[in-house]
Amino acid sequence: APVLALETSCDETAVAIYDGGLRAHALHSQVALHAEYGGVVPELASRDHVRRVAPLLRQVLDEAGLGTRDLAGVAYTAGPGLIGALMVGGATAAGIALAHGLPLIPVHHMEAHLLAPMLEDRPPAFPFVALLVSGGHTLLVDVRGVGDYRLLGESLDDAVGEAFDKTAKLLGLPYPGGPELARLAESGREGRFRLPRPMTDRPGLDFSFSGLKTAVLTSLPKAASDAERADLARAFEEAVVDTLCIKCLRALEATGYERLVVAGGVSANLRLRASLRERTRARGAEVFFPRQAFCTDNAAMVALVGWMRRAEGSPAVAALEVRARWPLSELCPVQRRPET
Ligand code: ATP
Ligand code: MG
Ligand code: FE
């Protein structure tokens, strides 16, 4: 029973179809559109989603060899995100659902990130600890099943992705900064700058990343050379990775779980992936990531959640609903196991 999904929460327009396996997916990134402004311009994002969504729908249906009559439901990212951008995907999904008498399935964007590793060949079993690190969120979650989420910790200020992007800007790197900073850090030398590991010297699972950005600013030499900027990028990346690793291991300790799931845009970071693999293995635990392309926003993860929630008999929602803010912990556990 294939579920079609639309993702338009921020600056990626994406469409996918899932039916127990991923049938097709397509994505258009608006990065170039927003680059000259140094960040996402909400109104431009909405308008570009309007332009892109229909051709992507066509493309994905063709690729899957399906027509709208073959669908069992239409899922869409209902929040959190930019309200105008969310409305575009939501209204499109609602239109298709209405025209074909299909259930409309609202999906929580962070639940989609969280379950994205289940698209891979070796999906993690429940329960697990999830670290969600994206442009807008830094969350540690106790995950006991689909929809069964207990918040263990979160950032008290900047999200990790946001800290990457702001620090990249300080270092004179183009938007979007996260991947650029990671690239610059590759040529940086280890140990040339020492930055703090915020909030690791006291118990607890919360994070704070805004001080790290300030520490970079105060460490940055006047008229810094390219090499010094690379060294500082390296130090920043290492401080973030070390901090995240410490808290993840602490969360595994606190829950007694043996599995860690890491998702969201920053989970694409290679140093983070390598460190977490090494440090979880050292304590007999295992870490799971989405493939690189599904770390950042995509519709495959939305289709997966839409399919799970549809298959597990959650009530079909007739009316279009979008929410700019929507805490993950408000979701309800899905009771039944998915049909195949
Ligand atoms: P949210 O999911 O919280 O609503 P978002 O959808 O904007 O936010 P994502 O698309 O999941 O966020 O991730 C984008 C973020 O990931 C950006 O901040 C970007 O800089 C960061 N990012 C992407 N790749 C890397 C990388 N290799 N290293 C570090 N950060 C990265
Ligand atoms: Mg994005
Ligand atoms: Fe996202």
213 CB near ligand 1 (under 6 Å) = no
259 CB near ligand 1 (under 6 Å) = no
Least Cα distance to 228 among 177, 178, 192 occurs for: 192
Query: Residue range 140-146: average pLDDT?
Result: 97
268 CB near ligand 1 (under 6 Å) = yes
Measure 111 CA to ligand 3 centroid, in angstroms. 10
ipTM exceeds 0.85: yes
Size (the chain), residues: 340
Confidence of residue 142 (pLDDT cuts 50, 70, 90): very high
What pLDDT score does 313 carry?
58
Q: Which ligand is nearest to the CA of 29?
A: 2
For residue 318, pLDDT over 80 is answered with: no
What pLDDT score does 25 carry?
98
Least Cα distance to 266 among 179, 328, 186 occurs for: 179
Cα atoms found within 13 Å of the Cα of residue 307, Cβ hemisphere only: 27
Query: Residue range 114-124: average pLDDT?
Result: 98
Residues within 5 A (CB) of ion ligand 3:
134, 297
Confidence of residue 314 (pLDDT cuts 50, 70, 90): low
pLDDT digit string, tens, across residues 75-102: 999 999 999 999 999 999 999 999 999 9
DSSP string over 317-330:
B-S----S---GGG
**Cβ(161)–Cβ(135) under 8 Å?**
yes
What pLDDT score does 310 carry?
87
Tell me how far apart the alpha carbons of residues 282 and 263 are, in angstroms, rounded to a whole number. Answer: 21
What pLDDT score does 312 carry?
60
What pLDDT score does 340 carry?
43
Ligand 1 test: best mutation among 296, 322, 328, most atoms within 8 Å of CB? 296
- In the chain, beta strands by DSSP E: 3-7, 12-18, 22-29, 73-79, 104-108, 128-133, 138-145, 148-154, 259-263, 286-288
DSSP string over 33-74:
HHHTTTS--HHHHHHHHHHHHHHHHHHHHHHHT--GGG-SEE
